[in-house]
Amino acid sequence: MHLIALGMNHRTAPVEVREKLAFSSGMMQSVVTDLKGFPSVGGFIVLSTCNRTEIYASVLRVQDGTCDLKRYLCGLAQLSEDEVSRYFHVWRCEEVVEHLFCVAAGLDSMILGETEIQGQVIDAYQYACSMKTSDKILNTLFQDAIRFGKRFRSQTAIDQHPVSVSYAAVELARSVFGNLSDCTVLIIGAGEMGELALKHLIARGVKTVLVSNRSYARACNIAQEYGGEAIRYDHFLTRLDKSDIVIGCTAAAHFVIHAEKVRQVMAKGRQRPLFFIDIAVPRDIDPAVKEIPGVILYNIDDLEEVVLEGMQERRKAALEAEGMLLEAVGEFLNWASALTVVPTIRALQQKGNEIMEEELRRCFNRLGETDPRTEKVIKSMAYSIVNKLLHTPTMRLKEYASRGDGQVYGEMLEDFFGVRLE
Protein backbone atom coordinates (compact mmCIF):
# COMPACT_ATOMS: atom_id res chain seq x y z
CA MET A 1 0.00 0.00 0.00
CA HIS A 2 1.10 3.57 -0.71
CA LEU A 3 0.33 6.79 1.15
CA ILE A 4 -1.31 9.79 -0.49
CA ALA A 5 -2.90 12.98 0.82
CA LEU A 6 -4.83 15.60 -1.06
CA GLY A 7 -6.96 18.63 -0.38
CA MET A 8 -6.63 22.35 0.18
CA ASN A 9 -5.48 24.61 3.00
CA HIS A 10 -4.81 28.27 3.77
CA ARG A 11 -1.61 28.15 1.71
CA THR A 12 -3.22 26.77 -1.45
CA ALA A 13 -6.73 28.28 -1.50
CA PRO A 14 -8.58 31.43 -0.36
CA VAL A 15 -11.33 31.16 2.23
CA GLU A 16 -14.14 31.46 -0.33
CA VAL A 17 -12.85 28.23 -1.92
CA ARG A 18 -11.93 26.45 1.34
CA GLU A 19 -15.40 26.96 2.78
CA LYS A 20 -16.84 24.81 -0.03
CA LEU A 21 -15.03 21.83 1.51
CA ALA A 22 -15.57 22.64 5.18
CA PHE A 23 -17.28 19.49 6.49
CA SER A 24 -19.80 19.81 9.31
CA SER A 25 -20.15 16.87 11.70
CA GLY A 26 -23.32 15.78 9.90
CA MET A 27 -21.69 16.04 6.49
CA MET A 28 -18.60 14.14 7.68
CA GLN A 29 -20.60 10.96 8.22
CA SER A 30 -21.91 11.14 4.65
CA VAL A 31 -18.38 11.71 3.30
CA VAL A 32 -17.06 8.71 5.22
CA THR A 33 -19.86 6.51 3.87
CA ASP A 34 -19.07 7.61 0.32
CA LEU A 35 -15.32 7.05 0.66
CA LYS A 36 -15.82 3.56 2.09
CA GLY A 37 -17.24 2.60 -1.30
CA PHE A 38 -14.07 3.47 -3.22
CA PRO A 39 -12.27 0.23 -4.25
CA SER A 40 -9.07 2.18 -4.98
CA VAL A 41 -8.84 3.39 -1.36
CA GLY A 42 -7.77 1.15 1.52
CA GLY A 43 -7.83 3.19 4.71
CA PHE A 44 -8.47 6.93 5.00
CA ILE A 45 -8.60 9.75 7.55
CA VAL A 46 -10.26 13.12 6.90
CA LEU A 47 -8.81 16.23 8.56
CA SER A 48 -11.22 19.16 8.22
CA THR A 49 -10.66 22.49 10.04
CA CYS A 50 -11.40 26.13 9.25
CA ASN A 51 -8.04 26.38 7.46
CA ARG A 52 -7.72 22.99 5.77
CA THR A 53 -9.57 19.99 4.39
CA GLU A 54 -7.22 17.10 3.63
CA ILE A 55 -7.76 13.38 3.09
CA TYR A 56 -4.94 11.00 4.06
CA ALA A 57 -5.28 7.59 2.45
CA SER A 58 -3.51 4.30 1.84
CA VAL A 59 -3.96 3.09 -1.74
CA LEU A 60 -2.84 0.13 -3.82
CA ARG A 61 -2.10 2.34 -6.83
CA VAL A 62 -1.22 6.01 -6.32
CA GLN A 63 -2.65 7.22 -9.63
CA ASP A 64 -6.01 5.47 -9.22
CA GLY A 65 -6.48 6.57 -5.62
CA THR A 66 -5.50 10.16 -6.35
CA CYS A 67 -7.83 10.47 -9.35
CA ASP A 68 -10.80 8.95 -7.52
CA LEU A 69 -10.42 11.13 -4.42
CA LYS A 70 -9.81 14.28 -6.43
CA ARG A 71 -12.86 13.62 -8.61
CA TYR A 72 -15.00 13.03 -5.52
CA LEU A 73 -13.89 16.20 -3.72
CA CYS A 74 -14.33 18.28 -6.87
CA GLY A 75 -17.90 17.08 -7.24
CA LEU A 76 -18.57 17.75 -3.58
CA ALA A 77 -17.24 21.32 -3.75
CA GLN A 78 -18.52 21.89 -7.30
CA LEU A 79 -15.13 23.09 -8.53
CA SER A 80 -14.06 23.40 -12.14
CA GLU A 81 -10.98 21.62 -13.51
CA ASP A 82 -9.14 24.94 -13.55
CA GLU A 83 -9.94 25.53 -9.88
CA VAL A 84 -8.84 22.01 -9.02
CA SER A 85 -5.41 22.47 -10.61
CA ARG A 86 -5.08 25.89 -8.98
CA TYR A 87 -6.21 25.15 -5.42
CA PHE A 88 -5.74 21.42 -4.78
CA HIS A 89 -2.46 19.96 -3.62
CA VAL A 90 -1.43 16.30 -3.69
CA TRP A 91 1.22 14.74 -1.46
CA ARG A 92 2.62 11.31 -2.28
CA CYS A 93 4.52 8.72 -0.23
CA GLU A 94 7.32 10.43 1.75
CA GLU A 95 5.74 13.87 1.17
CA VAL A 96 2.64 12.74 3.07
CA VAL A 97 4.66 11.84 6.15
CA GLU A 98 6.60 15.10 6.29
CA HIS A 99 3.46 17.15 5.64
CA LEU A 100 1.38 15.53 8.40
CA PHE A 101 4.23 15.77 10.91
CA CYS A 102 4.50 19.50 10.12
CA VAL A 103 0.73 19.91 10.42
CA ALA A 104 0.59 18.20 13.83
CA ALA A 105 3.46 20.34 15.12
CA GLY A 106 1.82 23.57 13.95
CA LEU A 107 4.61 24.19 11.45
CA ASP A 108 2.12 24.39 8.57
CA SER A 109 -0.38 26.58 10.43
CA MET A 110 -1.34 30.16 9.65
CA ILE A 111 -0.04 31.02 13.13
CA LEU A 112 3.28 29.20 13.37
CA GLY A 113 3.35 26.73 16.26
CA GLU A 114 -0.31 27.12 17.29
CA THR A 115 -1.55 24.31 19.52
CA GLU A 116 -5.19 23.92 18.41
CA ILE A 117 -4.24 21.92 15.31
CA GLN A 118 -2.78 19.09 17.40
CA GLY A 119 -6.15 18.51 19.05
CA GLN A 120 -7.81 18.60 15.63
CA VAL A 121 -5.40 15.95 14.30
CA ILE A 122 -6.15 13.78 17.35
CA ASP A 123 -9.91 14.24 16.83
CA ALA A 124 -9.62 13.30 13.13
CA TYR A 125 -7.67 10.15 13.99
CA GLN A 126 -10.04 9.10 16.77
CA TYR A 127 -13.05 9.67 14.52
CA ALA A 128 -11.48 7.50 11.80
CA CYS A 129 -10.86 4.76 14.35
CA SER A 130 -14.45 4.95 15.58
CA MET A 131 -15.70 4.70 11.98
CA LYS A 132 -13.20 1.90 11.22
CA THR A 133 -11.71 3.73 8.22
CA SER A 134 -8.08 3.74 9.35
CA ASP A 135 -5.61 0.89 8.81
CA LYS A 136 -2.23 -0.19 10.15
CA ILE A 137 -0.08 2.25 8.19
CA LEU A 138 -2.39 5.22 8.84
CA ASN A 139 -2.66 4.31 12.53
CA THR A 140 1.11 4.42 12.89
CA LEU A 141 1.42 7.55 10.72
CA PHE A 142 -1.04 9.55 12.84
CA GLN A 143 0.22 8.19 16.16
CA ASP A 144 3.79 9.12 15.22
CA ALA A 145 2.70 12.56 13.97
CA ILE A 146 0.83 13.31 17.20
CA ARG A 147 3.79 12.10 19.25
CA PHE A 148 6.16 14.28 17.19
CA GLY A 149 3.93 17.33 17.65
CA LYS A 150 3.98 16.92 21.43
CA ARG A 151 7.74 16.33 21.53
CA PHE A 152 8.41 19.31 19.26
CA ARG A 153 6.41 21.68 21.45
CA SER A 154 7.90 20.42 24.71
CA GLN A 155 11.50 20.63 23.46
CA THR A 156 11.25 23.98 21.66
CA ALA A 157 8.56 25.73 23.77
CA ILE A 158 7.47 27.34 20.49
CA ASP A 159 3.99 28.12 21.80
CA GLN A 160 5.39 30.15 24.70
CA HIS A 161 6.21 33.06 22.39
CA PRO A 162 3.18 35.38 21.89
CA VAL A 163 2.06 35.85 18.29
CA SER A 164 -1.28 37.60 18.78
CA VAL A 165 -1.99 40.98 20.36
CA SER A 166 -4.34 39.41 22.91
CA TYR A 167 -1.89 36.69 23.90
CA ALA A 168 0.96 39.22 24.09
CA ALA A 169 -1.11 41.31 26.49
CA VAL A 170 -1.60 38.33 28.78
CA GLU A 171 2.09 37.42 28.74
CA LEU A 172 2.97 41.00 29.69
CA ALA A 173 0.47 40.81 32.56
CA ARG A 174 2.15 37.63 33.79
CA SER A 175 5.52 39.36 33.68
CA VAL A 176 4.10 42.09 35.95
CA PHE A 177 2.06 40.03 38.44
CA GLY A 178 3.49 36.52 38.13
CA ASN A 179 0.57 34.43 39.40
CA LEU A 180 -2.64 35.89 37.93
CA SER A 181 -5.06 33.91 40.11
CA ASP A 182 -5.39 36.77 42.62
CA CYS A 183 -5.83 39.48 39.97
CA THR A 184 -9.08 41.27 39.14
CA VAL A 185 -9.59 42.07 35.46
CA LEU A 186 -11.78 44.93 34.24
CA ILE A 187 -12.58 44.78 30.53
CA ILE A 188 -14.10 47.89 28.96
CA GLY A 189 -15.78 47.20 25.64
CA ALA A 190 -16.65 43.58 24.92
CA GLY A 191 -15.27 43.37 21.40
CA GLU A 192 -13.59 40.40 19.73
CA MET A 193 -10.02 41.30 20.74
CA GLY A 194 -11.03 42.08 24.30
CA GLU A 195 -12.90 38.82 24.65
CA LEU A 196 -9.92 36.92 23.24
CA ALA A 197 -7.62 38.59 25.78
CA LEU A 198 -10.13 37.66 28.48
CA LYS A 199 -10.04 34.01 27.38
CA HIS A 200 -6.24 33.96 27.60
CA LEU A 201 -6.30 35.61 31.04
CA ILE A 202 -8.79 33.08 32.41
CA ALA A 203 -6.72 30.26 30.92
CA ARG A 204 -3.78 31.67 32.90
CA GLY A 205 -5.70 31.53 36.17
CA VAL A 206 -7.65 34.81 36.49
CA LYS A 207 -10.78 34.21 38.57
CA THR A 208 -12.33 37.67 39.09
CA VAL A 209 -13.65 39.37 35.95
CA LEU A 210 -15.57 42.66 35.59
CA VAL A 211 -17.13 43.41 32.19
CA SER A 212 -18.39 46.81 31.07
CA ASN A 213 -19.87 47.68 27.69
CA ARG A 214 -22.11 50.36 26.16
CA SER A 215 -24.62 47.57 25.62
CA TYR A 216 -25.31 46.30 29.12
CA ALA A 217 -26.94 43.17 27.65
CA ARG A 218 -23.71 42.33 25.82
CA ALA A 219 -21.75 42.89 29.06
CA CYS A 220 -24.13 40.53 30.87
CA ASN A 221 -23.68 37.84 28.21
CA ILE A 222 -19.88 37.99 28.36
CA ALA A 223 -19.90 38.10 32.18
CA GLN A 224 -22.19 35.08 32.35
CA GLU A 225 -20.06 33.11 29.88
CA TYR A 226 -16.84 33.69 31.83
CA GLY A 227 -18.23 33.69 35.34
CA GLY A 228 -17.76 37.44 35.83
CA GLU A 229 -19.75 40.48 36.90
CA ALA A 230 -21.36 42.93 34.47
CA ILE A 231 -20.80 46.65 35.18
CA ARG A 232 -22.87 49.41 33.59
CA TYR A 233 -20.76 51.51 31.23
CA ASP A 234 -21.25 54.76 33.17
CA HIS A 235 -20.10 53.05 36.40
CA PHE A 236 -16.86 51.31 35.38
CA LEU A 237 -14.61 54.13 36.64
CA THR A 238 -15.85 53.43 40.17
CA ARG A 239 -14.27 49.94 39.96
CA LEU A 240 -10.77 51.04 38.90
CA ASP A 241 -9.52 50.97 42.49
CA LYS A 242 -10.53 47.29 42.80
CA SER A 243 -8.91 46.26 39.51
CA ASP A 244 -5.39 45.01 38.78
CA ILE A 245 -5.60 44.64 34.99
CA VAL A 246 -7.71 46.96 32.83
CA ILE A 247 -8.29 46.13 29.16
CA GLY A 248 -9.55 48.96 26.96
CA CYS A 249 -11.14 47.89 23.68
CA THR A 250 -14.09 50.19 23.02
CA ALA A 251 -14.92 51.89 19.73
CA ALA A 252 -14.99 55.33 21.38
CA ALA A 253 -13.63 58.32 19.47
CA HIS A 254 -11.99 59.74 22.63
CA PHE A 255 -10.20 58.62 25.80
CA VAL A 256 -12.50 56.81 28.24
CA ILE A 257 -9.89 56.73 31.03
CA HIS A 258 -8.09 59.98 31.83
CA ALA A 259 -4.86 60.46 33.73
CA GLU A 260 -6.50 62.53 36.49
CA LYS A 261 -8.90 59.74 37.45
CA VAL A 262 -6.06 57.21 37.59
CA ARG A 263 -4.00 59.63 39.68
CA GLN A 264 -6.86 59.80 42.20
CA VAL A 265 -7.02 56.00 42.40
CA MET A 266 -3.27 55.65 42.98
CA ALA A 267 -3.29 58.45 45.59
CA LYS A 268 -5.39 56.28 47.91
CA GLY A 269 -2.31 54.32 49.00
CA ARG A 270 -2.65 51.43 46.56
CA GLN A 271 0.16 48.87 47.02
CA ARG A 272 -0.21 46.84 43.81
CA PRO A 273 0.56 48.01 40.25
CA LEU A 274 -2.32 49.06 38.00
CA PHE A 275 -1.77 47.52 34.58
CA PHE A 276 -3.54 49.01 31.55
CA ILE A 277 -3.77 47.20 28.21
CA ASP A 278 -5.07 49.53 25.50
CA ILE A 279 -5.90 47.56 22.36
CA ALA A 280 -8.39 50.10 21.04
CA VAL A 281 -7.91 52.25 17.94
CA PRO A 282 -8.51 55.15 18.59
CA ARG A 283 -6.93 54.69 22.01
CA ASP A 284 -9.10 54.34 25.12
CA ILE A 285 -6.54 55.32 27.73
CA ASP A 286 -4.79 58.66 28.11
CA PRO A 287 -1.06 57.97 27.47
CA ALA A 288 -0.24 60.39 30.30
CA VAL A 289 -1.13 57.65 32.80
CA LYS A 290 2.34 56.18 32.11
CA GLU A 291 3.83 59.05 34.10
CA ILE A 292 1.97 58.05 37.26
CA PRO A 293 4.03 55.91 39.70
CA GLY A 294 2.76 52.34 39.96
CA VAL A 295 0.92 52.50 36.62
CA ILE A 296 1.91 50.43 33.58
CA LEU A 297 0.42 51.06 30.13
CA TYR A 298 0.83 49.11 26.91
CA ASN A 299 -0.97 50.22 23.75
CA ILE A 300 -1.53 48.38 20.47
CA ASP A 301 1.87 49.41 19.04
CA ASP A 302 3.71 48.19 22.13
CA LEU A 303 1.94 44.86 21.85
CA GLU A 304 2.69 44.58 18.13
CA GLU A 305 6.41 44.81 18.96
CA VAL A 306 6.03 41.92 21.41
CA VAL A 307 4.16 39.94 18.73
CA LEU A 308 6.94 40.60 16.19
CA GLU A 309 9.54 39.37 18.67
CA GLY A 310 7.38 36.31 19.37
CA MET A 311 7.14 35.48 15.67
CA GLN A 312 10.91 35.76 15.29
CA GLU A 313 11.40 33.40 18.25
CA ARG A 314 8.92 30.93 16.78
CA ARG A 315 10.73 30.98 13.44
CA LYS A 316 13.99 30.23 15.25
CA ALA A 317 12.35 27.31 17.05
CA ALA A 318 10.99 25.99 13.74
CA LEU A 319 14.45 26.12 12.16
CA GLU A 320 15.96 24.33 15.15
CA ALA A 321 13.35 21.59 14.74
CA GLU A 322 14.42 20.61 11.21
CA GLY A 323 16.72 17.92 12.57
CA MET A 324 13.95 16.55 14.81
CA LEU A 325 11.58 16.45 11.84
CA LEU A 326 14.01 14.63 9.56
CA GLU A 327 14.74 12.07 12.27
CA ALA A 328 11.06 11.41 13.03
CA VAL A 329 10.13 11.16 9.35
CA GLY A 330 13.08 8.84 8.72
CA GLU A 331 12.03 6.51 11.54
CA PHE A 332 8.52 6.22 10.15
CA LEU A 333 9.73 5.64 6.60
CA ASN A 334 12.06 2.87 7.79
CA TRP A 335 9.13 1.21 9.54
CA ALA A 336 6.85 1.65 6.52
CA SER A 337 9.49 0.30 4.14
CA ALA A 338 9.80 -2.84 6.25
CA LEU A 339 6.06 -3.38 5.81
CA THR A 340 6.53 -3.95 2.08
CA VAL A 341 8.50 -7.13 2.72
CA VAL A 342 6.25 -8.54 5.45
CA PRO A 343 4.30 -10.75 2.97
CA THR A 344 7.60 -12.21 1.69
CA ILE A 345 8.84 -12.89 5.23
CA ARG A 346 5.55 -14.56 6.18
CA ALA A 347 5.69 -16.69 3.02
CA LEU A 348 9.26 -17.76 3.86
CA GLN A 349 8.26 -18.67 7.41
CA GLN A 350 5.23 -20.60 6.16
CA LYS A 351 7.40 -22.46 3.64
CA GLY A 352 9.93 -23.29 6.37
CA ASN A 353 7.19 -24.51 8.72
CA GLU A 354 5.62 -26.66 6.01
CA ILE A 355 8.99 -28.31 5.27
CA MET A 356 9.64 -28.78 8.99
CA GLU A 357 6.24 -30.41 9.60
CA GLU A 358 6.68 -32.73 6.60
CA GLU A 359 10.18 -33.81 7.67
CA LEU A 360 9.06 -34.33 11.28
CA ARG A 361 6.30 -36.65 10.09
CA ARG A 362 8.84 -38.67 8.08
CA CYS A 363 11.23 -38.75 11.02
CA PHE A 364 8.64 -40.05 13.51
CA ASN A 365 7.33 -42.60 10.98
CA ARG A 366 10.85 -44.03 10.64
CA LEU A 367 11.52 -44.00 14.37
CA GLY A 368 8.25 -45.63 15.25
CA GLU A 369 7.10 -45.19 18.82
CA THR A 370 9.08 -42.54 20.76
CA ASP A 371 8.79 -41.26 24.29
CA PRO A 372 7.40 -37.69 24.82
CA ARG A 373 10.77 -36.26 25.90
CA THR A 374 12.55 -37.47 22.74
CA GLU A 375 9.71 -36.18 20.56
CA LYS A 376 9.90 -32.77 22.26
CA VAL A 377 13.69 -32.56 21.76
CA ILE A 378 13.42 -33.43 18.05
CA LYS A 379 10.62 -30.89 17.44
CA SER A 380 12.55 -28.18 19.28
CA MET A 381 15.68 -28.90 17.25
CA ALA A 382 13.75 -28.79 13.94
CA TYR A 383 12.07 -25.50 14.92
CA SER A 384 15.45 -24.01 15.88
CA ILE A 385 17.07 -25.08 12.58
CA VAL A 386 14.32 -23.43 10.50
CA ASN A 387 14.39 -20.21 12.53
CA LYS A 388 18.18 -19.90 12.41
CA LEU A 389 18.24 -20.65 8.69
CA LEU A 390 15.68 -17.91 7.95
CA HIS A 391 16.94 -15.38 10.49
CA THR A 392 19.72 -13.82 8.42
CA PRO A 393 17.73 -13.62 5.14
CA THR A 394 14.77 -11.95 6.87
CA MET A 395 16.96 -9.48 8.79
CA ARG A 396 18.85 -8.58 5.61
CA LEU A 397 15.56 -8.17 3.75
CA LYS A 398 14.27 -5.72 6.40
CA GLU A 399 17.56 -3.84 6.18
CA TYR A 400 17.34 -3.58 2.38
CA ALA A 401 13.69 -2.52 2.67
CA SER A 402 14.63 0.38 4.95
CA ARG A 403 16.90 1.59 2.13
CA GLY A 404 14.13 1.32 -0.44
CA ASP A 405 15.34 -1.94 -2.05
CA GLY A 406 12.82 -4.27 -0.41
CA GLN A 407 10.89 -5.18 -3.55
CA VAL A 408 13.98 -6.21 -5.56
CA TYR A 409 15.52 -8.36 -2.81
CA GLY A 410 12.12 -9.69 -1.76
CA GLU A 411 11.50 -11.03 -5.25
CA MET A 412 14.98 -12.60 -5.27
CA LEU A 413 14.30 -14.44 -2.01
CA GLU A 414 10.90 -15.58 -3.25
CA ASP A 415 12.64 -17.02 -6.33
CA PHE A 416 15.50 -18.63 -4.36
CA PHE A 417 13.17 -20.33 -1.85
CA GLY A 418 10.44 -21.11 -4.36
CA VAL A 419 7.66 -19.24 -2.60
CA ARG A 420 4.75 -17.51 -4.29
CA LEU A 421 2.75 -14.70 -2.74
CA GLU A 422 -1.03 -14.98 -2.90
Contacts of 355 (CB under 8 A, 6+ apart): 386
Q: Is the model's pLDDT at 299 over the cut of 70?
A: yes
Helices (H), strands (E): how many in the chain? 16, 10
- Which of 175-179, 231-235, 242-246, 417-421 shows the lowest mean pLDDT across its residues? 417-421
| Bridge partners (DSSP) listed for residue 184 | 208
Active site residue 50: yes
Per the CB < 8 A criterion, the answer to whether 72 and 116 are in contact is: no
pLDDT of 163:
64
- Bigger pLDDT: 296 or 156? 296
CA nearest neighbour of 185 among 213, 219, 167, 209: 209
Residue 193 — pLDDT band, cuts 50, 70, 90? Answer: confident
Q: Which residues are annotated as a binding site for substrate?
A: 49-52, 109, 114-116, 120
* Least confidently predicted of 177-191, 340-354, 400-414: 400-414
What radius of gyration, in Å, describes the C-alpha atoms of the chain?
Answer: 31
**Which pLDDT tens digit goes with each residue over 257-284?**
999 999 999 998 888 899 999 888 788 9
> In which band, very low, low, confident or very high, does the pLDDT at 422 lie, cut at 50, 70 and 90?
low
pLDDT attached to residue 162: 57
Q: What pLDDT is attached to residue 151?
A: 92
**Whole-angstrom distance, CA of residue 125 vs CA of residue 160:** 26
Pairwise CA distance, residues 70 & 67, whole Å: 5
pLDDT at 382: 92
Q: Which of 20-34, 88-102, 198-212 has the highest mean pLDDT?
A: 88-102
pTM of the model: 0.63
For residues 34 and 361, what is the distance between their CA atoms, to the nearest angstrom? 52
| Largest CA-CA distance found in the chain, in angstroms, rounded | 111
pLDDT score at 45: 97
Q: What is the mean pLDDT of the chain?
A: 87
Q: CA 46, 111, 89: angle at the middle one, nearest 5?
A: 40
Taking only the tens place, the pLDDT of each residue in 86-122 is 888 999 988 999 999 999 998 888 777 877 889 999 9
- Numbered residues of the known binding site: 49-52, 109, 114-116, 120, 189-194
d(CA 279, CA 197): 10
- Residue-wise DSSP of 5-41: EEEEETTTS-HHHHGGG---HHHHHHHHHHHHT-TTE
- What is the reported pLDDT for 309? 77
pLDDT for position 306? 74
Taking only the tens place, the pLDDT of each residue in 39-72 is 999 999 999 987 889 999 999 889 999 999 998 9
Q: How many CB atoms lie within 10 A of CB 68?
A: 17
CA pair distance 131, 263, nearest whole angstrom: 63
Q: State the binding site for NADP(+).
A: 189-194
**Of 50, 102, 129, 220, which one is the catalytic site residue?**
50
Closest CA to 256 of 177, 186, 207: 186
pLDDT of residue 161: 67
Ordered domains of the chain (ranges, CATH): 2-160 (3.30.460.30), 165-301 (3.40.50.720), 334-417 (no CATH)
Q: What is the mean pLDDT of residues 149-158?
A: 86
* Tens digits of residue pLDDT in 320-368: 788 889 999 988 988 887 777 778 888 888 889 989 999 999 999 998 8
More confident position, 196 or 61: 61
